[in-house]
Amino acid sequence: MNNDEFQKLVLEKLSAMETRQNEIYQVVRAIEHSNNVGKAELDDHNIRIAKNEVTLKKVARVIDEELNKASNL
């Protein structure tokens, strides 16, 4: 193998490594995006749960008030 053939082979190997590195980078970016979407969905669920909790506490307070009124009759 002469010097030119060796250089060509090295360049081909480097090109293949660069392609593989780009593929891995894209996979990592996709995983990162998926994690961000999952976090956003979890935040949305937590907000909904908190709103429902407030609503339930208000309903419970009204029921308690009505029960107290009924017991005072």
Measure the CA–CA gap between 33 and 28, rounded to whole angstroms.
9
First to last CA, the chain: 106
Per-residue DSSP letter, 1: -
Measure the CA–CA gap between 71 and 13, rounded to whole angstroms.
86
In sequence order, what are the residues at sequence separation of 6 or more whose Cβ sits closer than 8 angstroms to the Cβ of residue 9? 1
pTM of the model: 0.67
Q: Each residue of 55-66: pLDDT tens digit?
A: 999 999 999 999
Q: Which residue has the tokens 């970016």?
A: 29
Q: Each residue of 13-39: pLDDT tens digit?
A: 999 999 999 999 999 999 999 999 999
